[in-house]
Amino acid sequence: MCNIAAGIKILAVAATIASFQTVESTASCNCTRIHPQQHFCTANYVIRGRVVLIQWQLIPDLDTESTTVTETLTNPTSYMTSNPLTQGPEATGKEVDKSTALPSSQDQDQNEFIDAMPAHRHNNQRANRKDKRLLKNRIINQEPWNYEIIYIITIQTVYKNVGGDSLIEGEELELKSPYPGMGFCGVELRAGKSYLLAGGEAGQINMCDWIQEYRHISKLQKRGLKNNYGQLCDMCQIMTCGNPECTSDLPSTTCVYLPPHDDHIQHGIGYHDNDCIARHSRCYAKGRKADKCDWMKSSDMKNCQRKGRRNKN
């Protein structure tokens, strides 16, 4: 799960995502890379869904001081500069007073926030640009991490649901994500696209969950989602390890998952083509008593590994 480096707590985030234990001003999102089979077994829900609407809103019930800003504030930029962790004013629909410039660091944060904003409507590019300008005017004086994203998802397939929201194919699901920049573990999904979403908490989604555009899901992953992953949850365990030496003294029912060494510099969500085990293998039980577990060596996995060796040469 997400563990954010120790330091000054930002209540806006800590109150929203329980698994984010601590935040500092130079926050970072640290997720242990786990195999998709592990994601499936530990997830609260696993669905295929299409993003139909994206909304940004201030995180409710922020812990603010008694000098909470109101809509009548005449110079919100000046206030936000001197009160960086306090919720800013609600939108008034008026143009922003640009007479007081933001400091360069805040300006950079704001630009990152605006750049990370996904389009609101997937069927009209002109409307996308207009919506983005309006939203920028609305939030330009807010601290971006005081916002959360609400994704409205049309459920296409339900693979797993262990409680919480009622998940019915064809109906809509609301998922909340924290701010997708500056290491706050938020995710940026695109309107109109279908995703595989495996979340650890009902009604929530974050960078540490399994999120991948569905068209990039491999054949073996699709079979695992429909059948194999769920059957193996109680039979086999998977342990993520940074080097092969950790394979000693492990139970025979444990498979060791070694993510690619360059995985930490890969950008984006999901599993990349060079992650052969994640994309093309699963940990299965073998032997007469099914008391041993090992990685399935599919033809796609072997081809992937051969391609990886060629690319290194």
**The two three-digit tokens of residue 223, written as one number:** 């079979």
Quote the CA–CA distance of 25 and 302 in Å, as a whole number: 44
106 backbone dihedrals φ, ψ, rounded to 5°: -65, -35
**The two three-digit tokens of residue 61, written as one number:** 């019930």
Neighbours of 119 (CB within 10 A): 18
Any binding-site annotation on 283? no
Question: Which residue type is seen at 103?
Answer: P
Comparing C-alpha atoms, which of 183, 186, 208, 89 is closest to residue 140? 89
Comparing C-alpha atoms, which of 197, 50, 203 is closest to residue 122? 50
131 backbone dihedrals φ, ψ, rounded to 5°: -60, -40
Comparing C-alpha atoms, which of 127, 108, 180 is closest to residue 149? 180
User: How is the beta sheet containing 194-199 ordered, strand by strand?
Assistant: 172-178, 147-161, 45-58, 194-199, 210-213
212 backbone dihedrals φ, ψ, rounded to 5°: -155, 140
Comparing C-alpha atoms, which of 172, 212, 178, 54 is closest to residue 122? 54
Give, to the nearest 10 degrees, the angle between helix 125-139 and helix 104-116: 150
Q: Which residues are annotated as a binding site?
A: 29
Q: Which residues are annotated as a binding site for Zn(2+)?
A: 29
